[in-house]
Amino acid sequence: MDVRADPTRQLVRLRGRSYVAFVFSPVVPIVEWLAEIDATLARSPGYFVGKPIVLDLASVDLSSSAIAHLLGSLNERSIRVLGIEGVGEERLGANMPPLLTGGRACVITRNEPAQKPEPEAKPKPTSLLLDSPVRSGQSIVFMEGDVTVVGSVGSGAEIVAGGSIHIYGTLRGRAMAGVNGNSNARIYCQKIEAELLAIDGYYQTAEEIDETLRNRPAQAWLQGDTMKITPLN
Amino acid sequence: MAKVMVVTSGKGGVGKTTTTAALGAALAQGGQNVVVVDFDVGLRNLDLVMGAERRVVFDLINVVQGVAKLPQALIRDKRLENLWLLPASQTRDKDALTDEGVGRVITELKSRFDWILCDSPAGIERGATLAMRYADEAIIVTNPEVSSVRDSDRIIGMLDSKTVKAERGEHVEKHVLITRYDPARAARGEMLSIEDILEILATPLLGIIPESQDVLKASNVGTPVTLNNTDSAPARAYIDASRRLMGEEVAMVVPAERKSFMNRLLGRRAA
């Protein structure tokens, strides 16, 4: 008994689609023509990437091996040829792109992105205000000027400012002021328990900060090349 | 409206899983539909604390990857019929979790439950970030010690920046839960005080759970502490916290040192 289920037949659906291809028409001497291609690539690398390329060999008389060599040279330049036209089919090898006929000329429109108008230059802000606590692990970097924090700066957090740093809360983390070389920058805080204070590269760690200052409002500033930390009020 | 709540801490061993189980059970006892979800893929524990380890068939990863349907993975508690567990996988790791997979599971859970409690793994990596990703509220479990408090501070910073709510410009409501609070050591000044912790974290307090043998005993028998011995100090503290979550006003009790009878007779032991 022959038990055989007929496989359900899938309909093959054929669709047409047209693309605009670049047509390369090499001229002799091929070497000079390739040099011209290289010059184009030097000006805009990747110009032909992802674009369909057709090779029109009508104006040259190349043997099968010469065509193979030309295809190889283009391949080296990352140019993949989609099809070839203007040559007898007998000259094309089995592993070459297929012969194309019936191409129509058209104008290639280059859709380059329109130049965006330059946004009007706003004056850059010279201070940064943060109205929530700065948590451990957060890093606030503001090179353009002062940083003000309404809240505390947690242990393991850091504030880096081009100008001064003002903290309306407890400073438990690191504060680095005047990092652009501004030795007039200062650090102010309501309660000092800092891990590290730095102004213009001069720094003090928690160990070096006077114990009597701890838990009090304080400011840090530079006098020459020594950092002064003094109580506020 | 379903609420997605993440129980997180940064630091390990502070009591996230105990808290998830205890609050989940307390909310369920209060008549809410609750699911507790274990996000600690590869190191799951919530199933043990809930006493459901012998009934796990499918897990979170199976649901995230579409291998199993959500109802197949949900385990109903044997004691409370409106308390459910979605266990983690023990054989996989956190890389098996995907953002959109977790989002899908959370959305589906939201249509079935009032409360979705996500037990976060320790750390700040993929498991922890995905556990908090879709949260509406967060419970930050903190022990009264500097390392735990600093890690909690870090996690609060992540809740304010890495969650979907934060990215939309909204706020994840945050609560601090202080666990393993030892009144005797607090009296001797060996621990951070409640005031210090709240000052550092600048986040409202949900409750204070005293250090107690009852917590360990309950874990060992696979029962949330709020179901094991409802009169124990930690159980009462957790039940109070759950009532605050449901919007009730409950006075905050700071656990005080209770001297045993013998101690009172003999006074202080000489060192």
Instruction: Measure the CA–CA gap between B76 and B84, rounded to whole angstroms.
Output: 4
Asked whether the predicted pLDDT for residue A171 surpasses 80, the reply is yes
* Among candidates A132, A138, A154 on the partner chain, residue whose Cβ is nearest the Cβ of B200: A154
**B95 at the A interface (CB within 8 A)?**
no
Nearest residue on chain B to A170, judged by CA atoms? B200
Residue A3 has pLDDT above 60, yes or no: no
ipTM score assigned to the predicted complex: 0.76
Of the candidates B90, B86, B93, B162, the one whose C-alpha atom is nearest the C-alpha of residue B127 is B93
| pLDDT higher than threshold 70 for residue A41 | yes
Q: How far apart are CA A173 and CA A192, in angstroms?
A: 10
pLDDT at B271: 45
- pLDDT on residue B257: 67
Least confident of A10-14, A154-158, B96-100, B191-195: A10-14
Put simply, the chain B residues between 190 and 219 with a CB less than 8 A from any chain A CB are 199-200, 202
| CB contact residues (below 8 A), chain B span 135-194, against chain A | 146, 150-151, 153-154, 156-158, 160
Model confidence band, residue B174 (pLDDT cutoffs 50, 70, 90): very high
Question: Smallest CA–CA separation between A190 and chain B, in Å?
Answer: 14
Beta strands A218-223 and B34-38: pairing type? unpaired
Q: Residue B182 half-sphere exposure, CB side, CA atoms within 13 Å?
A: 11
Helix (H) or strand (E) holding A196: strand A196-199
For residue A137 the two structure tokens come to: 């692990």
The pLDDT of residue A155 is above 90: yes
With contact defined as beta carbons under 8 Å apart, do B137 and B166 qualify? Answer: no
Which chain A residues are closer than 8 Å to B153 by Cβ?
135-137, 154-157
Q: Which of A130, A136, A191, A214 would best serve as a mutation to test chain B binding (most B beta carbons within 10 A)?
A: A136
Q: Say if the Cβ atoms of A156 and B150 lie within 8 Å.
A: yes
Average pLDDT, rounded, for chain A: 84
Given this model, what pLDDT does residue A21 score?
77
Answer whether B202 sits within 8 Å of A152, measured CB to CB: yes
Query: Which residue type occupies A156?
Result: G
Q: Looking up tokens 């606590």, which residue turns up?
A: A133
Interchain pair B156, A138: CB under 8 A: no
Query: In this prediction, what percent of chain B has a pLDDT beyond 90?
Result: 86
Q: Check pLDDT > 90 for residue B126.
A: yes
Cα angle, residue A211 at apex, residues A209 and A213 outer, rounded to 5°: 80
Closest residue of B to A172, CA-based? B200
Task: Kindly provide the residue ranges of all beta strands, DSSP E only, lying in A21-126, ordered along the sequence.
Answer: 22-24, 53-56, 81-85
Distance from CA of A131 to the nearest CA of B (A): 13
Residue of A nearest to B196 (CA): A170
Taking each helix axis as running N to C, give the angle between helix B213-220 and helix B233-245, from 0 to 180 degrees, rounded to the nearest 10.
Answer: 80
Q: What's the whole-number mean pLDDT along residues B106-127? A: 96
Give yes or no for residue B266 having a pLDDT over 60: no
Chain A nearest C-alpha distance from B84 (Å):
35
Between B57 and A34, residue with greater pLDDT:
B57
Chain centre to alpha carbon of residue A24: 33
Whole-number pLDDT of residue A146: 96
Cα distance between residue B170 and residue B134, in whole Å: 12
> Who wins on pLDDT, A110 or A42?
A42
Range in A30-44, A94-108, A175-189 with the lowest mean pLDDT: A94-108
pLDDT of residue A178: 95
Name the average pLDDT for chain B: 93
pTM as predicted: 0.70
Kindly state the average pLDDT of the residues A136-152.
95
- Choose between A186 and A25: higher pLDDT: A186
Q: What is the pLDDT of residues B177-231, one digit of tens each?
A: 999 999 888 888 889 999 999 999 999 999 999 999 999 999 999 999 999 999 9
| Contact present, B118 and B6 (Cβ < 8 Å) | yes
| Range with the poorest average pLDDT among A84-88, A172-176, B53-57, B110-114 | A84-88
Residue B107 confidence (pLDDT) above 80: yes
**The pLDDT value given to residue B132:** 97
A52 close contact with B: CB closer than 8 A: no
